[in-house]
Homo-oligomer: A and B are copies of this chain.
Amino acid sequence: MNQKIFVSAKEVADRAGVSRSAVSRTFTPGASVSEETRRRVMEAAEALGYHVNHLARGLMRNESGLVCLIVSEMDTPYRSSLIRAISHQLQSVSKVAMLINTDRSDKSVDDALRLAISYRADASIILSGMPDRSITDLCMKSGQRLVLINRDEEREGALMINLHDREAARRALIAFQRAGCSRLAFANSDVGTPSLMAREEGFVEAADDAGIDVVVERFGPTRYQSGVVLAQRLLTREARPEAIFCANDLLACGVLDTARHQFKLAVPEELCVIGFDDIEQSSWSSYELTTFAQPVDLIAKEAVAWLTHPAPADGTASRIRADLIWRGSVRGG
């Protein structure tokens, strides 16, 4: 069944009439080989269909070229675009992404991290959940780098990339105020992800400061269908909100659809909505959603740069600003 048939450096060396070291050097960037031997090696390698065994190379160098991406609900628009951006960046520095699905449990994140260690991954990037401190310590001790995206929690030696969620929430409030909205609401899922909570808290605080009340509603996973439920709850209140800030775009789409189709509300005339992420659907003409853009390419670039570049201090935190994209779901853009 499993025919071995992998051609090794020795075979190439024999055919080319050189030592196996010469073969190794030919495929090691920046090694010194004469033009002549390189040519002969390449020729033999081509003929035999030789490919460097990255497993063996990784074993020697203690560096596999693998980077572990740990993520749940990866078929969600924002997540998948972040994955695309990161894997693309990784490839540009000759690394490759290992993709690991988790459910929401922190234990599954721990398992993923263990797997990363088993494969001697050069690094792990966590997009969902939060591993136990004992595991992250193990990662650091193993010389494995760690990047936490939107986790908003400290981990010794790891790179933390976060957005200015609270500050963005303040700007959302200002936008609503300028639109003349006074009855405000915040629509959130009930999963309690740090970045989602930061948006909620930032919005409520900002409203507090301005002496405005905010109705906060939380429900279900962070998905479209939850947005539907949230809208039903919010829009049936006696004092119907004039503006809803949603924890992310998926919720906002559900809210918008429900407001328009079920409650026959005109947006933005009767209801203003702001989301977060700027997923592709937000720009579709059924939504025209005003939202904060997550700069996924920038996030990916920062993450990968930190992985390859010797770290400045070792662990670092990065805060990125989310730009407000004005579309039609808020008056007076």
Q: What 1/0 flags go to A68-99 for Cβ under 8 Å of B?
A: 01000111110111011001100100001111
A302 CB to closest chain B CB (Å) equals 19
Give A72's nearest chain B residue, CB to CB.
Answer: B84
A105 to B28, CA, bound (A): 27
Q: What 1/0 flags go to A46-85 for Cβ under 8 Å of B?
A: 0001011111101100111010010001111101110110
Q: Are B88 and A101 in contact (CB under 8 A)?
A: yes
A142 at the interface (CB under 8 A from B): yes
A19 at the interface (CB under 8 A from B): no
Q: Are A97 and B96 in contact (CB under 8 A)?
A: no
- The count of identical subunits is 2
Q: Are A55 and B51 in contact (CB under 8 A)?
A: no
Q: Are A55 and B120 in contact (CB under 8 A)?
A: yes
Give A96's nearest chain B residue, CB to CB.
Answer: B98
A138 at the interface (CB under 8 A from B): yes
Tally of contact residues, A, Cβ under 8 A: 65
A261 to B288, CA, bound (A): 12
A273 CB to closest chain B CB (Å) equals 14
- Beyond known contacts A253-B284, A258-B285, A281-B281: 15 more, CB 8 A cutoff: A2-B63, A3-B141, A6-B62, A49-B138, A51-B114, A51-B118, A52-B118, A53-B120, A75-B81, A75-B84, A80-B80, A84-B101, A96-B115, A257-B285, A286-B286
The residues of A with any CB-CB pair to B shorter than 8 Å are 1-6, 49, 51-56, 58-59, 62-64, 66, 69, 73-77, 79-81, 83-84, 87-88, 91, 96-101, 114-115, 117-120, 138, 141-143, 224, 228, 253-254, 257-258, 260-262, 280-281, 284-287, 310
